[in-house]
Structure 1
Amino acid sequence: MLPWKKSVLTASLLTLALSATACVGGGEEATAGGSDCPWEPDESITATVRIGYQKIPNGDVVVKDQKILESCAPNATITWSNFASGGDVVQAFGGKSLDLGLVGSSPATKALSAPLNLPVSVVWIHDVIGAAESLVVRDGAATDIAGLKRKTIATPFGSTAHFSLLQAISDAGEDAADYKLVNAEPEQIAPAWTRGDIDASWVWDPTLSELKKDKGTVILTSEDTAKAGKPTFDVGIADNTFVEKNPDFLALWAKAQDHAIAQIADDPDKAAESVAVEVGVTTDEAKAQFDGFVYLSAAEQAGPDYLGGKLGKDLFATAQFLLTQDGIAAVGPESAYADGVDASAAEAASK
């Protein structure tokens, strides 16, 4: 049993945590973005593509809402499915029900490690996570991580938020076994907070903003853990067989993602309209949430600091930490994580 699984909350919250399921969101109508391809459509692409996304304020939901893929590859068959967390997306890849999907860097590392060893590659960085994922405490429960010992902290297990929480506990010289950590998906955390079942949560928007509005105070962020040398990312992973068979679609997908990232920088009002529709917040809230992330262009991603080199080392370091927490069965060779990163789509999109 994992040390951070030894403490259990009430039966009601445990049941809630175990009942998390992904909900399918394919076929939804865009209500904010346009439906014209920003460049000449490619009618030669006829791929059938299953995409898993999460309600996170980044370029992925801009691409979805504005139907960029559908308008730029009109003869492709594209299905979008919504998932509550990266762990659910990884499970879907394990069940061979997705071709592309958004996960955090921690779930991506798990996918590349034993016992899963999934045939996937990291092909895109949707964002570098900053203050958008934070540890928020209720009613002044604590002012630092040490003050939360023996208190109940909710976070989605296996997520980047979970990784940052465990890292913060370790960096403070504390033992995770001294904390009551409970596994709950973001949509379960806000009701548990309202009921008083939890004292704190490391989670992302829009749930994070809800907790802050309800007597919550942020005491640590993923930006803090990144500065301590443990950055986290939201990344796009792809099934290797799909990548081999559909390089044209993957290049188009990366071009669409790059277009969305440029829109966040150059026309944040328009991008925020799409994020608001997909994430379920106001446009002002969406714009404010952009500040919690760093968005990288395709050219930046293809460079040596990210997909072109260092990301593989970051995933390897993440695997080493996850092993100490019994999050994976074994760390693969460093080359396995380097080989699990594919910069080709970002390179194509940057040209």
Structure 2
Amino acid sequence: MKRIILTGGGTAGHVTPNLALIPKLKKEGWDIRYIGSKKGIEKNLIKSINIPYYGISSGKLRRYKDIKNLTDPFRVIAGCFEALRIISKLKPNIIFSKGGYVSVPVVVAGWILRVPVIIHESDLTPGLANKLAFPFAKKICVNFPETLSYIPKEKGILTGTPIREELFLGDYKKGLKLCDFDNKKPVIMIMGGSLGSVTINKVVRSSLDKLLKSFNIIHICGKNNKDSSLENIKGYKQFEYVNEELPHLFAAASLLISRAGANSIFEILSLKKPNILIPLSAKASRGDQILNAKSFKKQGFSEVIEEENLKKETFLDMIINTYSNREKYIESMKKSNNSNGIEKVMELIRTHYKK
């Protein structure tokens, strides 16, 4: 039986595409193992679907001054030795890495043991962990055409990101029922990321009086961010977090408003949903979401409001204009051949695994 090691962790974004690949890998008869960090978010996500999990030491690779910069390199080195031991024992045919700091020791160990490695880079500009891992990879999958200019020409391939199959199985009526909506008004769904966004939550709630005249509103506001004073407003439904409900809520929505993390926006692209992106500010990130959003706007998939410009009037005007021109965005997304990367990634795995 062919064996593949998946790796990636630290955030859900470094795990979700791996989760999307797993059903296809199982269907094609692969024995799947996962190497992640000992305490990261990926551990519970992978164990919950009964994939054998191996935890290794990992340290964060920082661009800024921090006392942990003195100790974390030793954790990375320890992780390399642990990964070498695990990979030597498992003897995989190939390694697929979704990035994050824990993936670097796995990729390096795989290269030392002559196991082919494929890396996936989600954002328009590569993160530091993947930059360090690129020299050890056979192929590097990317989501954006622009990313190809940042990586070795002979290694890069535009695949898009693997999308979870269940997102395509949503039911419009179930989505409405989950929110106690009728079908007389179109639905806007607003997502501020897994932790929510104070800025987005504030502008949404301040705009409800105007929005609810024309739309029903689904607001995924983040943990502990519900406003109890708004719980019984007709046409407005708050969720702290959604999981199994997400496909049905997507199906019910006519317009999406979202952060611009790569996984989220490629899910939106796959579902062909008109959307407005509000990328995380460069003050709170390395600016990758801003670049992701600009690329989607350039390709005609999205409208963009930068967080610094997020005011009630701008927000309302953008919603009206985007919804009125929704068919334009849908047509642009239909022309994209880069919406779901599962098959392209699987073809690379089939081509490059060690026989």
Q: Indicate the structure (1 or 2) with the bigger Cα radius of gyration.
A: 2
User: TM over 0.5: same fold?
Assistant: no
Structure of greater relative contact order (alpha carbons < 8 Å, 6+ residues apart): 1
User: TM-score w.r.t. structure 1 length?
Assistant: 0.28
Give the structure-2-normalised TM-score.
0.28
